[in-house]
Amino acid sequence: MTVKLVTLKTDKTLMATIGEDQTLPGAIILKEPVQIVIVPPRSQTDSGGIAFLPFLDYCEEFKTGIVISPNDILTVTTPQRELLNQYN
């Protein structure tokens, strides 16, 4: 399992430890996923940034793995080192 960025067709980008689901070809399992949200600047001197919001953290599968259908996935990419360090 490895940490990846998963962009859904709904334009949400999630970061999670992912693995393959054996029951649904092409589906992936997301463990402890967080949604990446852009935070706009609050003033002229603020550059803005990003925030991590837990994604479906109240479901029982949050820690064990949430299955995402391949029909809902737009891309799976590798996060930049700085983003990965913030996630860890």
Cα(83)–Cα(36) distance, rounded to whole angstroms? 10
pLDDT at 12: 94
* The pLDDT of residue 6: 96
Please list the pLDDT of the chain residue by residue as tens digits (88 residues): 799 999 999 999 999 999 988 888 889 999 999 999 988 888 888 777 889 999 988 899 999 999 999 999 999 999 999 999 988 8
pLDDT for the residue 65: 92
Report which of 37, 39, 17, 36 is spatially closest to residue 28, judged by C-alpha positions: 17
Element of type H or E holding 87: helix 81-87
44/20 Cα distance (integer angstroms):
44
